[in-house]
Amino acid sequence: MGLLSGLLTLPVAPLRGVARIAELLRDQAERQYYDPATIRRELEEIDRARAEGALTDAEASTMEDELVARLVDRPHDRGYQEH
* Mean pLDDT to the nearest integer, 8-33: 92
The parent domain of residue 19 ranges over: 11-75
pTM score above 0.85: no
* Spatial contact of 77 and 30, defined as CB atoms under 8 Å apart: no
Which pLDDT does position 4 carry in this prediction? 81
Which pLDDT does position 12 carry in this prediction? 85
Residue 19 lies in a domain: yes
pLDDT digits (tens, 9 = 90+) for 22-56: 999 999 999 999 999 999 999 999 999 999 999 99
Residue 4 lies in a domain: no
Taking the CB of residue 5, how many other CB atoms lie within 10 A of it? 9
Residue 30 lies in a domain: yes
Indicate the number of domains in the chain: 1
Residue 47 lies in a domain: yes
Which pLDDT does position 46 carry in this prediction? 98
Which H helix or E strand runs over 41?
A: helix 36-52
* Spatial contact of 57 and 63, defined as CB atoms under 8 Å apart: no
Residue 5 lies in a domain: no
Residue 3 lies in a domain: no
